[in-house]
Homo-oligomer: A and B are copies of this chain.
């Protein structure tokens, strides 16, 4: 018996809302949205966790400028280090290199992190998802059953993929709370974003951050009703 599966529920029982930021394609802005959304909610006094699940291309620690030179502290489990108020858990604390992991190994790593990370009480735990609908997606759907925010760009390729994934998620009985068009009508292309990467202070002042007001308010509104 895999004991990790029996403790995961305990580890997230203090979390009010679990939100996976996903979308079929890579490079559409999932990590940027997940990171800045977490930052905005935290800066507005909410208790927020951010779990980076893209083991082959971890980025939130770079976006938020987190110090990954030391291991997270431990106290009967792993305490996710705080960055600008956000509890951030990422494979980046443990590896600075490419992680050549097969799907079954990604699956195992995710279960391991979920089993040992002590999130405590959170209003929101935001999951930064990798592209695709493979192991990480299937495991998250099964183990955590989160709500989804889907990110697309205005391109045909991205829209086609996100549409398919939305159907899949809904067929699996899970909820898509919003589909956000990045680099387009919902979040505009922000030429200052790249310079703000690495600084939580600068990030909060970007147009990108302002363009996330609507979804931030939507998430805050619904917190007590779900």
Contact = CB atoms under 8 A, between A and B. Distances in A.
A28 B27 CA distance: 7
A131 interface: yes
A57 interface: yes
Nearest to A100: B133
Contacts of A102: 103-104, 107, 134-135, 138
Interface stretch (A5-13, A120-128, A155-163): A155-163
A2 interface: no
Given A57-B161, A103-B106, A133 B24 contact: no
A59 B135 CA distance: 21
A137 interface: yes
A102 B103 CA distance: 6
B97 A157 contact: no
A83 interface: no
Interface stretch (A42-50, A68-76, A164-172, A201-209): A164-172
B100 A103 contact: no
B26 A155 contact: no
Given A27-B25, A28-B27, A59 B101 contact: no
Most buried by B among A28, A31, A101, A132: A132
Contacts of A28: 26-27
Nearest to A54: B132
9 contacts: A26-B57, A96-B164, A98-B167, A99-B133, A100-B133, A102-B138, A106-B134, A131-B131, A156-B198
